[in-house]
Chain A
Amino acid sequence: MTSLKRSYVTDSSAPNLSSKVYVRSTRSGKVQKIVRELYLRQDIPCSSKLCSKCLSRAPTDYNNRVLPFVLSERPEGTKSAPQGHYVIPDTNAFISAMDLFEVESAFHDVIVLQTVLEEVKNRSLPLYHRLISLTKSEDKRFYVFFNEFRSETYVNREHGESINDRNDRAVRMAVKWYGEHLQEAVRMRSKSAKAPMIVMLSDDRDNLRKAKAEKLVAYSLRDYVSGLENATLLLDMITEGQEARQGKPEKSEMFYPEYYSLSKMLTGVKAGTMHQGIFNVSPYNYLEGSVHVSAFERSLLILGRENSNRAVSGDVIVVEILSKDQWKTPSTKIIEEETVNKDDNPDEEDGEAVITERERRALQEEVKRVHSKNVEGRSQPTARVVGVIKRNWRQYVGHIDRGSVKTSAKQSRAQQTVFLVPMDKRIPKIRVRTRQAGELLGKRVLVTIDSWDRDSRYPVGHFVRSLGELESKEAETEALLLEYDVQYRPFPKTVLDCLPSEGHDWKVPASVDDPGWKGRRDLRDLLVCSIDPPGCVDIDDALHARPLPNGNFEVGVHIADVSHFVKPNNAMDKEASMRGTTVYLVDKRIDMLPMLLGTDLCSLKPYVERYAFSVLWEITADADIVKSEFTKSVIRSREAFAYEQAQIRIDDKSQQDDLTKGIRTLMMLSKKLNKKRMDAGALNLASPEVRVEAESETSDPADVKVKKMLDTNSLVEEFMLLANISVARKIYEAFPQTALLRRHAAPPKTNFEELANQLQVKRGLELRTDSSKAVADSLDTCVDPSEPFFNTLIRIMATRCMMSAEYFCSGTQAYSEFRHYGLASEIYTHFTSPIRRYADLEAHRQLAAAIEYEQLDPSLHSKAKLEGICKNINVRHRNAQMAGRASVEYYVGQALKGRVCDEEGFVMKIFSNGFVVFVPKFGIESAIKLRDLAVPEPESTLDYENYILTISGSKNAKVELFQKVKVRISDVQEESTGKRKIKLGLL
């Protein structure tokens, strides 16, 4: 009987076949045995430029070209290998020191084995992506060697061998093979030359030992790095890993409870006894977290360190609800980690408790307050974290806590443990071991969290790099961009390759027969102009209006035709979709598209012809739309106005040319449109907007001004809204399942409860929230005749109660959910700023397909892909906004540096040990803590029902919500941190 069995490597007759067997559990609970056959080959190249044999055998692509070889002919040498060396790290090395491999100055010619790459992918997806991007970088020379597919380096798993041991063996096998292979290759070239040494890097002692036994060159990461230049700097970048922990004796005390097993959590979540959500920490109280879970309308509170159990803001966690007698109301105290745990010793771990005495006291007072007042109705369910599904740790920017540094002498290279205080107040202090504590003091530093064990009160992390001096513009700007995950590196070459080859000389083709003109309407004779903020270079939109013979008006909105230049799925499109939006900082703009497009070829600059995507309406004198039309076009803008200029031109009676008349028509129509929108219930919301005026030479901030709103601002805004709505209707009609739209959900009633109650108690005003119209109307009634700013204050506070608007794909929501609450429109999208928003670019493509100008790219047909895009751009959009705000905040701080001024402010929020004041003039908002008002800290009683804080003792005062107060604004440099902060004092 001939055997039916598939014979694998052991059988010599079929040397090129092997298999891989594993168990796969599907989401639906199925468990499958999966068998994959592996076909082993011999033509996978070693990719060393020294080897000619591999070059001749390497597989070719369809152009009959071999991929260029990566590893250099003359790699860097070391002391033990002057002839140069290639590095083969194992999985642990990458996991524990990815930052190290990203350093520019070291780690060139690295061979990434497939075994290792796959293991990294299984262990950590973010690290995997970083590794992949390293392999793409040309000057780092990282080569992925598919050792599992090459027959010489394939290793069969032995009986009883663990997967790890097998993979380690595969790594060693590859190291051995490379060594012999290169030896041979070099000998073929010349007899005397020495082949580069192959160095294996591993943090696994067992693996190192075995490698030594096999006579391979192997180092631990630390040993290898110690031999490099800049060793101290590089050593800091290795993860605070097992090595350090192994040295310590087993500790009996565990500060935090253990996490549940994954299966237990999943079962619990499915059964509804546990809940999954994203952990959020209150910006005012680092001990109070909240998590929103789908089962409850209100967020669950997570109080104290023990309950939050090592979760860091942003993690996906699983919580268990605590029994009802432990339910609490949200905190009314400002608790900052910095001040509560000021003098912790980072080295001392033994005496450390999870909750310090001071923390306990702070919490105690909370409980007292809850008990003293019978606030049953207000108490919220609390929960405790029982496990983490996914860590969302990123790199954090912060500074070294001066108090935690023992020797700050710069020369001292002794390793010490210091605390890093992150910029983001919601992130706990991070314990970092470093040899350069002295140097890093007073600098902005980037670190990552490596782990947070049960026996450590704070997470442990390692140093990545220093951004520069605190308060220096470069460091602070980069810190901001990093904190908000803004991609700010210059565009890679692949992206720039997608630009038109003519560069700045690109012109709209003169001949109308050119393919670029196909399907385009010639609108060059229209009197088009653009109105933008002063100094705007990326002009997205332009407008025109002219009377029609029948008494109606033709109005056109012309948007830069970016989709003509950015074709779907090329490198530029991918980069843009990743960036999602242009980020505007006070002194810097981080573009979504390369400069050439954004500020020149796409920008609707005056006096030149440009491609545009036009929306044309026929509108009656009452601003009713008779018909709308969409077309690709060519326009020539007659003028680029700043808002103020346009306003002056409109107001100037002497100007009677057609262009000015057109703008006046637009103005007239926009006012009517605005009225209609307001009648429909659109909200007029406010956020504190200030502008930082910079000195032209140094771009140092000189002054802070509140932005002025002119009629021309709202002129442009009205027509952009109109265009967006028209386009949304059109693309939804054409693609009911996959139109990219924007919605603004109605906020849940509970969001307004607090504010409504405050208004009721303090001013006897009523805030009705049953519809956006009701909100808009009742906001109009919230006025204080003696205080014009009061209304704006309420609007700012109301805005914070709203949901944020989001992009979505039309197939994922019911039509009734499309509604834009703030604009009171049934349907809405973004169409008018394709230079700076990716959503608009997608809308352009969809509209172009809807008017049958071009075929729709398949990626825009796929709901799943669009959902992915929406998810990303929603996040990017929010980050860009926050980065912009943070930048303004920083510059306001810089502008006020060294100045002391007294200003009016309004109380926005009251705590039992402080209150938050908003200063309209500078748009700043800051907490005033009682501790800072007088020494010793004054006594205080908080009348929670009436929002009155009575201060007595060393200072007597009474602070009410919405009260106008005089504050003294100054800036202080905090002693412990060396950080400059705006400080408000009550006068």
Chain B
Amino acid sequence: MAPAATSQVLLSPAELSFLHSSLLLQPPVRPDGRAPNQFRPLVAETDILPGANGSARICFPDGTEAIVGIKAEVEKSQWRANLSEDGAHLGTGGGDVEMEEDGGKPQEEASSHGNGEMSWIELSIEIPGFRDDDPLPIFLAAMLSEGLLAGEELKDRLWINRRFHWKLYIDILLLSPPLSYPLPLLSLTTHLALLSSRIPKLKSEQDEDPLFDDDWEASLYLYPKLPTGKRIDRPPITLLVMAVGSNIIFDPSKEELAVAEAVLAVSVRESQRRENDTSGRRLNLLSIRSVDSPSRLTPSGVPNTMNTATGGSAPVSSQDAVAQRESIDQKGVWNPPRGGVKRALITRIIKLVLEPNGVAQEVMDGLNGVEV
């Protein structure tokens, strides 16, 4: 599932090798001079589409830019077997429709907890130059919705009552060609759009046909705001992390990705479940997915031993070439990375992401600065 076409970098093996070796240094030297966990600056704004329930736009300095619009629609829920007894609420029996007095069930039952369904969120990605059934948009959409659906909160908030729910349409539009792997861009934009999303305030009670307050000002944030302006929780974000040797590099640029030994997409969410949590913030890891690194498709350099011009002997076949390369480990000659990621490395990545004042928190703080 490598998004090969996205980041075909036109670099020579020698350049790739140089890039690779500078990233291997301790500390690594990145082409744009960033620290390994430093993100590129970004510009963001929210609520740019007046007609949508929520929207956001982010521009990265490399010229990539994305817009996310979120639209919520009321939909009739499908009848579910485990709710059938409760459905008797609206049975046609006699004149008994006193909903409040019905059975005196604990209030919990009618609450939204655990009632959300996967199908209530639909996410679509549009990338210029790609068909919507191309692997890239589909793969990206899968990764993003995986993160959104991993937590129950969002789904459950879409629950209106036993008979109705909101259906959320998240439309992601990449405005620029996909210069670098657009996952973090899209994830952050979606995050902001969800933060700015509001749904009309419900006026009806219980299982009635929903009726909403027609004042938009009265509408509620999908991610509720506390009176202090803080949020109880926020939507997840998905970060792109790459490793070169033992160096872990965040927010890789297109060139850096071309020499990555491992690329991971890490979804995290910040939550504040307990009221009196003094630390205030907790980060949860939602998912990790390894992304096939584009570096595997880069052309390899030819070492002197295999180059007839420098007195070497050319390999007889391509198999022979591979076999010969296996045995050489020569500095300065680019060799596309092979093999997997060490478990210890993944552990370190997770730690770096989740630790207090770690990378994820820094990103969140950065996004907090955007006015929603």
Contact = CB atoms under 8 A, between A and B. Distances in A.
Interface of A: 1, 3-6, 19, 21-25, 29-31, 33, 35, 157, 161, 163, 261-264, 266-268, 270-274, 320-323
Given A272-B92, A273-B90, A266 B73 contact: no
A263 B203 contact: yes
Contact of B205 (A21, A33, A261, A272): A261
B12 interface: no
A157 B217 contact: yes
A25 B214 contact: yes
Chain B CB count within 10 A is highest, among A33, A157, A272, for A33
Contacts of B95: 273, 320-323
B27 interface: no
Contacts of B205: 261, 263-264
B47 to A, nearest CB: 7
Given A263-B204, A320-B95, A33 B51 contact: yes
B180 interface: no
Contact of A270 (B52, B73, B200, B209): B209
Interface string B198-229: 00100111011111111111010000000000
B42 to A, nearest CB: 9
A1 B48 contact: no
Contact of B204 (A19, A21, A261): A261
B212 A23 contact: yes
A4 to B, nearest CB: 5
A273 B97 contact: yes
3 closest Cβ contacts across the A-B interface?
A263-B204, A263-B211, A267-B208
A4 B92 contact: no
A403 B74 CA distance: 57
Given A1-B59, A6-B50, A30-B73, A22 B209 contact: no
A267 B215 contact: no
Contacts of A323: 94-95
Give the dominant DSSP class at A's interface.
Answer: mixed
Contact of A263 (B51, B74, B94, B209): B209
B45 interface: yes
B74 A266 contact: no
Contacts of B213: 23
Interface in B183-209: 200, 203-205, 207-209
Contact of A264 (B51, B204, B216, B217): B204
B165 interface: no
B45 A268 contact: no
5 contacts: A263-B203, A263-B210, A274-B97, A321-B95, A322-B95
B92 A21 contact: no
A559 B73 CA distance: 58
Contact of B74 (A30, A33, A35, A322): A30
A163 B207 contact: no
A263 B214 contact: no
Contacts of B200: 23, 31, 33
A6 B59 CA distance: 18
Nearest to B42: A1
B35 interface: no
Chain A CB count within 10 A is highest, among B76, B203, B216, B217, for B217
B372 to A, nearest CB: 13
A262 B211 contact: yes
A705 B224 CA distance: 79
A266 B214 contact: no
A273 B51 CA distance: 37
B53 interface: yes
A829 B207 CA distance: 48
B216 A23 contact: yes
A161 B212 CA distance: 19
A384 to B, nearest CB: 9
B155 interface: no
Interface in B24-79: 43, 45, 47-48, 50-53, 57, 59, 67, 73-74, 76
B45 A22 contact: no
A335 B107 CA distance: 48
Nearest to A274: B97
Chain B CB count within 10 A is highest, among A6, A24, A161, A267, for A267
B370 to A, nearest CB: 12
A33 B53 contact: yes
Given A5-B45, A22-B215, A263-B208, 10 more contacts: A5-B47, A19-B50, A23-B200, A23-B214, A25-B214, A30-B73, A261-B208, A271-B90, A273-B92, A273-B97
Nearest to B43: A1
Contacts of B210: 29, 31, 263
B99 interface: yes
A17 to B, nearest CB: 12
A266 B208 contact: yes
B211 A33 contact: no
B208 A33 contact: no
Nearest to A24: B214
Contacts of B73: 30-31
A157 B215 CA distance: 12
Contact of A4 (B48, B97, B203, B219): B48
A815 B92 CA distance: 35
B212 A25 contact: yes
A294 to B, nearest CB: 15
Contacts of B207: 267
Contacts of B212: 23, 25, 31
Contact of B209 (A5, A29, A163, A321): A29
Nearest to A271: B90
Contacts of B57: 4
Nearest to A157: B217
Nearest to B215: A163
Given A23-B214, A31-B200, A323-B95, A3 B209 contact: no
A261 B210 CA distance: 12
Nearest to B51: A35
B62 to A, nearest CB: 13
A24 B215 CA distance: 9
B207 to A, nearest CB: 7
Contacts of B48: 3-5
A521 to B, nearest CB: 60
A3 B45 contact: yes
A272 B95 CA distance: 10
A307 to B, nearest CB: 12
Contacts of B53: 33
Contacts of B59: 1
A25 to B, nearest CB: 6
Contacts of A272: 92
